[in-house]
Amino acid sequence: MSVRHVHFAHDVSAIPATPSPTYSSSSLPSSYGPMTPPQQYPAYLPFGSPAPSVAMHPALTYGPGRVPGFYFDVSLAPENIRPAPDSAVSGQAATYPPTASIVLTHERLPWDIIISPAQGNEVTVGSLLRGIYTALRAPVTSADYDALPSRSAQTEVNNAFARRCQHFAGAPTYSVERNKGLKRVDFLGALVVFSGLVQSQRRPNCWEILLSPAPPQRS
């Protein structure tokens, strides 16, 4: 059996080879109209009143029966999003009211994803999507790997690493990508397709990123 190796700094672990990942595009439209501001807040709030809520841009929001108007595999750079989001939408504020920082979480990640503006004072739709990819490209240490809850969880991460590297099979960048070792995105396993964001019910001022598996590769 052929093997590939996962690297954690100076550590090496052998894992079995796995099939290449899949990639597809969505035919849904990528354009969204301007955000509709939520109901205006009163000019004065008495002590003890909750902070005003934040609305996420509809291009990024998850809802029952609703899917994003684009296909975003978070293991691949945003340039691979299909169809590419309209530039006008990408430049719109990701939230209303606009904010300079957005915290995202996922149950499989022991780290928060902190999104900051690429430029200017507010997080935009485009900077949020790129921020997700950038944060998930951070390297994983052997301590992170050893902290996984089970051997099966480690196997799933190993398989995700192999699939991600296999995407570059036959390209000069294959060995470069493999030698960079595990990334945080590998902790997501097969869940790599962006499905939208929902407000966290467990943590205030935080959003949960919802992900789904990539569709099966067509033969």
182 C-beta neighbours (distance < 10 Å), count: 23
* All structural domains of the chain with their residue ranges: 3-17+53-213
pLDDT tens-digit profile of 34-47? 444 443 333 334 44
Phi, psi of 132 (to 5 degrees): -60, -50
Q: How far apart are CA 1 and CA 16, in angstroms?
A: 8
As a whole number, mean pLDDT of residues 46-63 equals: 74
CA 175 to chain centre: 24
What is the edge-to-edge ordering of all strands in the sheet holding 191-199?
113-115, 102-105, 207-213, 191-199
pLDDT tens-digit profile of 70-120? 999 999 999 999 999 899 999 999 999 999 999 999 999 999 999 999 888
| Residue ranges with strand state E in the chain | 3-8, 11-16, 55-56, 95-96, 102-105, 113-115, 191-199, 207-213
Percent of the chain with pLDDT over 90: 61
pTM score: 0.76
